[in-house]
Structure 1
């Protein structure tokens, strides 16, 4: 059974509270990603939040916030995370339960990587679980837009 550490992406692009909305958007565009963890500038890798492309639109652009607005105005600070020692099936179950597609991986309070549903599907041992998680998340997402 594979662990999260075997499947996660370790080369994470991050921002700090010193960065603004525009800088987060540029990082997303340049790296073709939609999720950027927010880390503590003083501590370097202590996870304090995350920003998604949807956060930039819903909490930023739609609220008429300029690109110079602080990351703290759009970020989520109540994050679900996992440990690198978590097994892949459990990570897929966490994603399904919380309706999320990406999980920051934290060890001793420090960000060490990010695991996405796609990483779990590529792990083969969890293809069924990752597929089930994606199906549940997509169903929930579609239902939200119908109401």
Structure 2
């Protein structure tokens, strides 16, 4: 059985909820990623901020990225995540059902990694990934 742990990107860094959009953008550039999980008290996952969030919700609105907290950029709805030991079919199901491109991976309620479409494309057979990519690309977050 292939699990979320087998396909996830390890060493995922968590942005603190009170860190600025500017700090988030700088960290994304350093890590060469387009999204960062956002954590609140006790390292608990509260959301994901993307490079698009920074552009659309901050810069395009004329807001100062050095004065906007990451917590202001995340969706106020539930953040979807998956257990590290979950079967990869459940990963695909969750991403498809919620039409999300990235899925944080938790172990004992702590962030241990993140799974992106690219991770799945690189590690799974093409037919397993095709439906997901098509569905998410049609209406993505």
TM-score normalised to structure 1 length: 0.85
Q: CA deviation at 1:3?
A: 0.4
In structure 2, which of residues 54, 57, 67 is the aligned counterpart of residue 56 of structure 1?
54
Q: What corresponds to 1:70 in structure 2?
A: 69
C-alpha contact (below 8 Å) 2:83/2:107 kept by paired residues: yes
Distance 2:138 2:14 in 1: 29
Gaps of 5+ in 1: 142-147
Q: What corresponds to 2:96 in structure 1?
A: 96
1:127 aligns with 2:126: yes
Q: CA deviation at 1:37?
A: 0.5
C-alpha contact (below 8 Å) 2:99/2:139 kept by paired residues: yes
Question: 4+ residue runs of structure 1 moved beyond 6 angstroms?
Answer: none
C-alpha contact (below 8 Å) 2:83/2:105 kept by paired residues: yes
C-alpha contact (below 8 Å) 2:83/2:106 kept by paired residues: yes
Q: What corresponds to 2:82 in structure 1?
A: 82
Q: State the secondary structure of the residue aligned to 1:19.
A: coil
Q: CA deviation at 1:105?
A: 0.7
Higher relative contact order (CA 8 A, sep 6+): 2
RMSD: 1.8
Question: Per-residue displacement from partner, 1:86-124 (whole Å, max 9, x unpaired)?
Answer: 111221121112111110012222111101122122223
Counterpart mapping for 1:110-121 below 5 A? 110-121=110-121
Distance 1:20 1:107 in 2: 27
Q: What corresponds to 1:144 in structure 2?
A: none
Question: Per-residue displacement from partner, 1:45-102 (whole Å, max 9, x unpaired)?
Answer: 3212210111111111122210121111112342111111111122112111211111
C-alpha contact (below 8 Å) 1:8/1:115 kept by paired residues: yes
Gaps of 5+ in 2: none
Q: State the secondary structure of the residue aligned to 2:82.
A: coil
